[in-house]
């Protein structure tokens, strides 16, 4: 997606999880159902990687087991795992996850996006950037970053 040299020329791909079957109760608009880790995973699993034409799920960057949700406490925590420890796209990936969830979730939720511990050389710096609301807002005003975000968040077309 606009990256000339691949940082990880041999990524490991996984088989995506089956789509979640919705219950009849989940389809009723008048009923408030709790948001759970699987619902969050469903929102972020198809985000495109900035370097490959694959999804974050296919590259094992996002996993349902690394998502924690407290619906009552209005808290969501998502950890993601870059494909290589020196991934220069890690901040953009985190930003994509953050923006996707901002668009999909009620504003009552506090969303915390972090790199999985020990999986990136700049983990602390990137986590600090992703936790800084002003930096995230400034990034969304950057035309180049916004175009990259749109590419990653663009849904598949048939």
pTM: 0.83
Quote the pLDDT of residue 82: 96
Residue of 120, 94, 105, 118 whose CA lies nearest to 40? 105
Question: What's the Cα-to-Cα distance from 140 to each of 24, 109, 118, 149, 152, rounded to whole Å?
Answer: 37, 19, 27, 9, 14
**pLDDT 10s digits, 139-148:** 999 999 999 9
Question: Left, alpha or beta for 12 (phi > 0: left; psi -120 to 50: alpha)?
Answer: beta
The phi and psi torsions of 6 (rounded to 5 degrees) equal: -75, 130
Rounded distance between C-alpha atoms, residue 101 and residue 97, angstroms: 6
Question: What's the Cα-to-Cα distance from 52 to each of 10, 61, 73, 81, 158, rounded to whole Å?
Answer: 11, 12, 36, 15, 19
H or E segment to which residue 69 belongs: strand 67-70
* pLDDT tier, 33 (very low <50, low <70, confident <90, very high otherwise): confident
Q: Does the pLDDT at position 95 exceed 90?
A: yes
Rounded distance between C-alpha atoms, residue 38 and residue 20, angstroms: 8
């Amino acid at each position: 997606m606009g990256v000339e040299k691949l940082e990880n020329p041999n990524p490991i791909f996984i088989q995506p999880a089956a789509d979640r079957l919705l219950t009849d109760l989940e389809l009723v608009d008048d009923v408030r159902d709790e948001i759970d880790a699987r619902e969050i995973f469903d929102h972020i699993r198809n985000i495109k990687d900035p370097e490959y034409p694959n999804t974050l799920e296919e590259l094992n960057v996002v996993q349902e087991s690394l998502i924690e949700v407290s619906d009552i406490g209005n808290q969501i925590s998502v950890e993601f795992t870059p494909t290589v420890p020196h991934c220069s796209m890690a901040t953009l990936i985190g930003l994509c996850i953050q923006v996707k969830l901002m668009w999909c979730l009620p504003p009552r939720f506090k969303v915390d996006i972090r790199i999985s511990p020990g999986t990136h050389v700049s983990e602390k710096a990137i986590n600090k950037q992703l936790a800084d609301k002003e930096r995230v807002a400034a990034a969304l005003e950057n035309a180049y970053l916004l175009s990259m975000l749109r590419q990653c968040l663009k849904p598949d077309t048939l």
